[in-house]
Amino acid sequence: MSSPVNCAFGRRLLGVTVPGLAALATIASALTATGCAPATTGRPRPAAYRTATHRVMTPLPPDASARENGLPTTAAYETQPIMRITAVTVRVPESWETPPLVGRLQHHRVVAGENLLELARAGGLGFREVRDANPTIDEWEPRAGVDILLPSRSIVPRTSYRGLVINIPEMRLYFFPTDAMPGERVPVLTWPIGIGAEEAPSPVGAFTVKSKDENPTWVVPASILRTMEHPQAVVPPGPDNPLGDYRIRLSIDVYAIHGTNDPWTVGRLTTHGCIRLYPEDIATLYPLVESGTPGEIVYQPVKFGRAGGHVYVEVHQDVYQMYPDLERYAFRVLAESGLADRVDAELVRTAVRVKTGVPTDVTRGAPPRGVSLVHTTAPEGDV
């Protein structure tokens, strides 16, 4: 059972009154899982973020082609909602422990008129997360009836597990209680992000929240002003402001976590180094942080984790080309994890090759499980 302070943290999440909080029921479930009785808010879920019902795949064993290429296979269907999984429960690892998996994979059969960007946002995912998990699917006009994977399951990055944790290659932010202790089960919020373009990469390192402001005015840095097609030194609040409705300034130089006036840029390399969230997600995060909230930006394209007695690897694109040999880097991370004798090295190599960003079961001698090499039906992570 978690400590009272972490129960208080979870109840604080439930107490947020901004329209962006689309995960109330999930947070309440997370609190129950940690042994904290959630307080009743008495507020209905905002209509704009209620979950629509879609057909969702129930995984079946893989076929040979999908196994070879690490891609989705055929499956049976049942009617279930696409869940926007942005609140999970995490048992905080000790410094020497392998990080856990959280969330669960979801599958969807495309309906005419849908596109991957809309489905990504509906599932609490960024564009690249969905594109990398479905590399053969047209992002703008997927064929009606085609099966796609919504990769809302992940391995928690190896960090201090306190405050704001941002993993650049994963393009994802995690928000832990600032006083989370090893061994505790705590509620954690997680969202997709947009990051800096290759020519203006997002920084790496520890930081604290310096300040925050609502309806921010953007004073454009000279370096950015020179690159603008229509230079504008000051951008006032409003629909044309790329910062969106909320800005959280960081202690790292001029960088910030902020919203956006263009939601389709979340999950892409589009900023000048800042971290960009969907409008509904920054609206949820904004009231939860304050001056001094700690954080860390890390660069981990390969993560190993454990669940249900199995070892998993999650491989993302090396977006800033930090590792010329990503396979060598993966095996170095594996050696540091102490799990090398438990995995099938060839499965690790394949995961590095396909880079789907989906946790992949690489346990040595494990029987075939799930709908493909990267889609498993092993016990899901905490939700």
Say whether 258 is catalytic. Answer: yes
How far from chain centre, in Å, is Cα 122?
Answer: 13
**Tokens 């001698």 label which residue?**
365
* Sequence-distant (≥ 6) Cβ neighbours of residue 49 within 8 angstroms: 19, 20, 22, 84, 280
Which structure tokens are listed for 199?
Answer: 């020519």
How many whole angstroms separate alpha carbon 256 and alpha carbon 286? 12
Which one of the listed residues 258, 272, 310, 316 is annotated catalytic? 258
Task: Reply yes or no on whether 36 is catalytic.
Answer: no
Give the number of other CB atoms < 10 A from CB of residue 69.
Answer: 16
Q: Tell me which residue of 83, 84, 7 sits closest to 39, measured CA to CA.
A: 7
Which neighbouring-strand residues pair with 226? none
Check: CB of residue 197 under 8 Å from CB of residue 269. yes
Query: Using alpha carbons only, what angle is made at residue 151 by residues 349 and 181, rounded to the nearest 5 degrees?
Result: 90
Active site residue: 7, 108, 274, 375, which one?
Answer: 274
**Known catalytic residues?**
258, 274
